[in-house]
Structure 1
Amino acid sequence: MQETLRALLIQDMARALLLAAAAAVIVLLSGRAWIELLKRRNIRKRARNEGSDTMVSYGQITLGGVMIVVPVVFLTSLFNLIDRWSMLLPLAVMVGYAILGAVDDYFSLEVVPSSHYGLTERVKSALQWLIAIVASVVLYLPAPYGLGHSGMVFVPFVGQLDVGIFVIPIAGLIIWATVNAVNITDGVDGLSGWTLLVAFGAYGVIAFLNGDFTNLMALCFTLVGACAGYLWFNAHPAPVIMGDLGSMALGGALAVIALQSQQWLLLPIVGIVFVVEALSSFVQIWYYKYTRRTTGTPVRLLKMAPLHHHLRITGWSNPQITQRFVVITLASSMVAIALAMRA
């Protein structure tokens, strides 16, 4: 029995690694043509600098996230959907956020006259919440209406706990927060791509160790391969960024994978960089408003938010920021994997 299980796990791991390699090759072969097409069409974000508080973009070519999302959807649809309908949820969430991100990117392009830079925050946040709540309900509802996850979560050193129907608002918040945290992190060449690659790799290992989520493992490694291919073109100085299309789509996919693996308590550890980046923006805005209201003189804690912009202004180079944040992500992911083995 154990030998049979071991053979099946090895077979699933081999399939996952082949999907990762295939995704990387597809991105490497198609990436240059896609970037050239974007350049010819001038698919470039309007450079926008909002004083010393935030910096939104640099006028770079955007929509690079297509290079990741399309191969992952294609390969998963061909090789990871047979008797694995649970893959439809992360794919649907990824595509849903990709479409939302593409619309947001569209209204921030130089070639598109618009009074707004992208969608308004209220509209974008409302649509993000809509996708997140729908996904959470599908995750909770029993078959055939949903995936039948009953709110179970693995707690390190404790075991399984059931949060019941409360998993719906919890999952909705996790998806929404992860989407925005990854989106905020996409501001330095290679940063979001590398941190996502490590995060998906960590959850791929966690799914493999669990043994019950080999389909999630295959999806994770497909995403790892696609991110690796994308990073070939996103190395500093990068000609292209993934844009809101890519960062929102991959943030949504990461959150749903964490929820389906029932190891979502480990997500803040695996994604420690995303958490810190998001908190730096939140605290910057909150403290600025607080000091303006209480003292009449607004004060900024950072020279610019999120944290990677502050570090760049203080003298860190783009490669230094990326490499050091990736080291942190690798270390935190090792901790998360170790904790998953104790659940």
Structure 2
Amino acid sequence: MRAILLSGVIALLLSLLGTRLAIRQFTKWGYGQEIRDDGPTSHHTKRGTPTMGGVAIVFAAVVAYLLAKLAEGDAPSASAWLLLLLFVGCGLVGFLDDFIKVFRQRNLGLRSGAKMIGQTMVAVLFGVLATCFFGDDRGVHPASHYLSTIHDWGWKLPLVVVLVLIWFIVTATSNAVNLTDGLDGLATGVSMMVFGAYTLVSIWQNNQRCGSARPNVDPLHCYTVRDPLDLAIVAAAITGACFGFLWWNASPAKIFMGDTGSLALGGALAGLAIMSRTEVLMAIIGGIFVLETVSVILQVGFFKLTKRGGGVGKRLFRMTPIHHHFEMLGWEQITVVIRFWIIAGICVTAGLGLFYGAWVVVS
């Protein structure tokens, strides 16, 4: 358990100092954010703010995890390596997108198709390794062949279906976090809560895992997870890295995480959900990400539906993702962020309550 605290603290410090260095260096290189012309006019003042700050988050979390394991004298587990694969792999896709934006001085980076190809390659590689390799002495693999809420349930799914589900979860979650990253500190603050929640979930699963030597673990209601303690250490490192980054990303932001950070965080969240067997529960814990994504889907769908027959398409919201809708209504940016943090906190609390409540009921 000491490694969990150690990784969180190290990541916080590395992120706090590393982000400051990134601000200085990216400003020197002219790596500034381009702002969409159709967005709120208040955002135009942010043009030129350093972006790609997600590099500091990814670096801090990965180094903190490895140092915590080194301090404990343990080798990283297969599940941790796979989670870092998603975290860094999705981050690299985002980095390419950010770099093209700053290099060509435009708001468009990778084409949507190219970005999807990159996310797909990372997701499929993760899926194959997590489901077909690295089984432990109990025969438990990092990812299962079932769809899970808190435990595996239903029928065992064919490998191809599992890989499609993993692809969908990884791409959907990474893009959802990317959509949420539109206001100073919004995605960072929400991510802190969500990864903090998964730290608690993984700690609980480690204490109640199947095959545990603990005498009070009920074999009928335990958790079949490959390496829950290591998942907790990585989740704590990402939580700490987000804490440190928020110091500089809070309004008025001195740096943006960019797609480098948002895609990396989304990929890591998907990996935690898949390997902790809580894919469906993640939709509640990360409810704010779902809200942001659904708002875009509804906006596009309603616009296309009302545009049929040569008519002028109508919009449900003034602008999406939905946090921009409230900005267009006249809310101050900081007000939107704080209220969305409150909603995120409610979602996280509800998710943790359901997780613990299900254990109490079955026990």
TM-score under structure 2 length normalisation: 0.83
Partner of 2:38: 50
Q: Alpha-carbon deviation of 1:16?
A: 0.6
Deviation string, structure 1 residues 174-215 (Cα, Å, up to 9, x no partner): 111000000000000110001111000111111111124111
SS in 1 for 2:101: coil
CA separation of 1:199/1:90 partners in 2, compared to 1, >3 Å: closer, same or farther? same
Q: Work out whether residues 196 and 227 of structure 1, in 8 Å CA contact, stay in contact via their aligned partners in 2.
A: yes
Number of corresponding residues:
326
Consecutive unaligned residues of structure 2, counting only runs of 5 or more, are 210-227
- TM-aligned CA distance change 1:58 to 1:291, over 3 Å: farther
Counterpart among 58, 66, 74 of residue 77 in structure 1: 66
Give the structure 1 partner of residue 216 of structure 2: none
**Residue 96 of structure 1: CA displacement?**
1.1
User: How far did 1:142 drift?
Assistant: 3.5
Deviations 1:22-81 (A, max 9, x none): 1111122232221011111110122222378xx999523201111110011112233347
**CA drift at 1:123:** 1.4
Question: What amino acid does structure 1 have at the position aligned with 2:92?
Answer: I
For 2:29 and 2:315, the matched residues in 1 are separated by 38
Shift of 1:293: 1.8
Deviation of the 1:307 alpha carbon? 0.3
What is residue 64 of structure 1 aligned with on the other side? 53
Match of 2:37, SS state, is strand
Correspondence 1:198-217 to 2 at 5 A: 198-211=193-206, 212=209, 213-217=228-232
Letter in 2 for 1:149: A
**Identity across matched positions, percent:** 31
Contact 1:201-1:220 at 8 Å conserved across structures:
yes
Q: CA deviation at 1:251?
A: 0.5
CA deviation map 1:80-135 (0-9, x unaligned): 471512211111111111111111111111x5267x82111111122212221221
The AA in structure 2 aligned to 1:246 is G
Which residue in the other structure is 2:347 paired with? 332
RMSD of equivalent CA atoms:
2.4
CA pair 29-127 structure 1, distance change in 2 beyond 3 A: closer
CA distance 1:209–1:220, change in 2 (3 Å): same
Note if 1:151 corresponds to 2:140: no
SS of alignment partner, residue 49 of structure 1: coil
Give the counterpart of 1:124 among 85, 105, 115: 115
**How far apart are the structure 1 equivalents of 2:174 and 2:143?**
21
Q: Determine the structure 2 residue equivalent to 1:112.
A: 104
- Cα separation, 1, equivalents of 2:335 and 2:105: 36
| Inter-partner Cα distance in structure 1 for 2:129 and 2:93 | 20
Residue identity matched to 1:186: D
- Structure 1 alignment gaps of length 5 or more: 1-11
The one-letter amino acid of 2:104's match is V
